[in-house]
Chains A and B, each alone.
Chain A
Amino acid sequence: GQQLNQSPQSMFIQEGEDVSMNCTSSSIFNTWLWYKQDPGEGPVLLIALYKAGELTSNGRLTAQFGITRKDSFLNISASIPSDVGIYFCAGQGGSNYKLTFGKGTLLTVNP
């Protein structure tokens, strides 16, 4: 089946630093999505990307859909303590719109 490789697995950064994480796949996806999971809660959609090459921002978050349609990255600028959580990438391919998830990046922000 389809698999996503998400990296890094975890990050420890200082407040104010920028963060970058990415996902790669051996398969092509039609849509890339990025979710954030706060401690004790379910994942919440942050950004959705629908076209190869698309660059989309949501506040301090920026994500890109790779030209090859096999990768995506998420950047967080000027991190703050509430950015702490697990970030998941997800790819959507085929006609059934089923998602394939990466294993997540655990982000810790030191004040």
Chain B
Amino acid sequence: DADVTQTPRNRITKTGKRIMLECSQTKGHDRMYWYRQDPGLGLRLIYYSFDVKDINKGEISDGYSVSRQAQAKFSLSLESAIPNQTALYFCATSDATTNYGYTFGSGTRLTVV
């Protein structure tokens, strides 16, 4: 099984619908992140959480919300999806006490029509 699992892998949804992307990890890491990837724009940070009671906005949090349900689970919600939220979304985790970088999930490809 993957260390960081994202569900669903692909999703097509309609404008205005609420959608949730889920992430779970078996790394035992304290920190979790949500990124969005668009062609030519790299990875942009949406939200991050350093522990269960900690939630922080990233550089592009408007239109998104998150929930850290447990150390191992971090979900991203789009309350009312719009077409320009069509993108590839990645969850990542890291350890609080080391500088070994992040472990990424395989991504969720979201299309808003």
Chain A residues in the interface with B (C-beta under 8 A):
1, 6, 9, 30-31, 33, 35, 40-45, 48, 50, 88, 90, 92, 96-99, 101-104
Q: How far is the CB of B107 from chain A (nearest CB, A)?
A: 5
Are A97 and B96 neighbours in the complex by a CB distance under 8 Å? Answer: yes
Q: Mark B68-91, 1 if CB is under 8 A from A, else 0.
A: 000000000000000000000010
* B94 at the A interface (CB under 8 A): yes
- A96-B50, A101-B42, A104-B42 known; 15 new pairs, CB 8 Å cut-off, are A6-B42, A30-B99, A31-B99, A35-B104, A42-B90, A42-B104, A43-B43, A43-B104, A88-B43, A90-B101, A92-B101, A99-B94, A99-B102, A103-B40, A104-B43
Q: Is the CB of B101 within 8 A of A48?
A: yes
Q: Is the interface of B mostly helix, strand, loop or mixed?
A: loop
Q: Are A41 and B106 in contact (CB under 8 A)?
A: yes
B4 neighbours in A (Cβ, 8 Å)? 42
The 8 Å CB contact of B104, one of A31, A44, A96, A104, is: A44
Tally B residues with Cβ within 8 Å of A.
22
Partner of A42, one of B40, B99, B100, B106: B106
Q: Establish whether residues A88 and B42, one from each chain, have CB atoms under 8 Å apart when the complex forms.
A: yes
Most buried by A among B42, B96, B98: B42
Beyond A9-B40, A88-B42, whether A99 also contacts B106 by CB under 8 A is no
